[in-house]
Each structure stands twice: as C-alpha cells, then as structure tokens.
Amino acid sequence: MTDLGSLFARTAAEGRSALVGYLPAGFPTVDSGIEALKAMVDAGVDVVEVGLPYSDPVMDGPTIQAAAERALAQGTKTADVLRTVDAVASTGVPALVMTYWNPVERYGVERFARDLATAGGCGVITPDLIPEEAESWLDATSAAGIDPVFVVAPSSTDERLRRVTSVTRGFVYTASTMGVTGTRQTVSDRAENLVKRVRQVSDLPVCVGLGVSNADQAAEVAAYADGVIVGSAFVRRLLDEPSVPAGTAAVAALAAELATGVRRR
C-alpha cells in the first residue's frame, strides 16, 4: 500500500501537482484495462483511480457510462476491480477505487475495506456517500487502514466543507462544476475559488476533477490545486481507437501530455 500523504509531499517538494488518472475496471477487458493503466503510470500518472462499474451511474457522463456498460456486459465483478487495484499498486503508485455506495453495501462494508487493503489499495472515493450516513464506512476504513475520500462541489456551504473535510482522509476531491463527469472546452473558474475555500478549513491536499482533457487545462488547474484528476479524456481515447493496442498507446500519449501540464503549472 502506497501512502497518499507521502505522494503529495513528494509532488509538493518537486513544485508541482500530482496527476490522477481514472479508468473503470474491466474496460476494454479486465486484462487490457490493467495494461492501459500501467501504460498511464509509465507515462507519468502519479495516482490511479480504478472505477467500479455500476449499473446506475447517476453522476457519470455518457463517456464513462459507455465504458461501464461495456465492462458490466462482459461480466466485470468486484473481484476484477480488486485484481486491477492489485496490479496497479504493484507498480508503486497509490491506487484508489472510485465507487458508488450501493456496490460497497452489497459486497459488505467491512469486507470491502479489508479486501481492498489486502489488494494494496490505499483509499476509496465515494461520490454519493455523505458523512452523516458514513459511520460504518468510516469505522471500516479506519480498521483497514485506508483513506475515505469524500467529494465537495461549488455549491457546498462553508459549514458543509468543514463537515466533509473533517472525515476525509488522503485528499479532498473537489468537483470543478456542478453536473456529471465529462471533458470540457474550459475548466470552470469556480474550481479555484472552491480550492481556496477548502484550504481555509482543511490542511488536506486538494484535487480537482471534472473537465480536464489536455495539457493546457492541466497546467491551469495545477497552478492552484495539489492534484489534477482526469477520467473521461482517458476513457474517450480507449473508446475512439479501433484496437486495444492503439487504445493503450493513446492513453499513454495523453498521460505524457498531461504530465507535462502539471509540471508546467
């Protein structure tokens, strides 16, 4: 298990933001998805989010929904997600799971936290879980030694930011816009203000997601955030390429481009 705190301390010492890359497990297949994630790491991704495909992804845009549907159609299970985490963690980068809460409950809250830790995972992002309903999850992650990562948005009040950050560990996931995931022509200027507001109530690293798809946008976000999260742009590369090898090469090329962006600031 790789500690997120150590990772963010290292990137801060290097004078840059961390690049966080996302792909859902099982896409295009379990094995080819693992190879794509390893290629992204080799090209400069510092932290990996492994998505747990879910049949009702209400916060995901059409690109990630399409990938998740393909993964589910091929029978991707939680065990495949954990195998993907294990493979990514073996590269030495921190590996987290991004999941809706329902699959965690179905699998078993304590069991999920324990099995993820055994696989080398260091945390879980739960976008639809609120702190007021997270007591069992906070107990389970504490016992397993993994980080519960919660999400804040531009609409979050200052009181809400204090509440969310009081139970978050690892980093705070800040959504740059209201709405579902997806690449955008520009990253919302509300994101920078939200990062400033989070830092007024917490010393945790702050990462920005939703919308980043190229080096210029990555550099823009890296100027004020501790981490730049990219998901839909990676998924889009895999969806658009005609073959698995071409898709793997495409996500590696995007990772290299984005890595230059977070270093440019």
| Catalytic residue list | 49, 60
Nearest to 147 by CA among 99, 96, 207: 96
**152 close to 160: Cβ distance less than 8 angstroms:** yes
- Rounded to a whole number, what is the distance in angstroms from the first to the last CA of the chain? 29
**18 close to 7: Cβ distance less than 8 angstroms:** yes
In DSSP notation, 210-226 reads: SS--SHHHHHHHHTT-S
Question: b/e per residue, 77-95, with b = 16+ CB within 10 A?
Answer: bbebbbbbbbbbbebebbb
**163 close to 152: Cβ distance less than 8 angstroms:** no
CA distance 225 to 222: 5
CA distance 66 to 210: 17
Secondary structure class of 173 (helix, strand, coil): strand
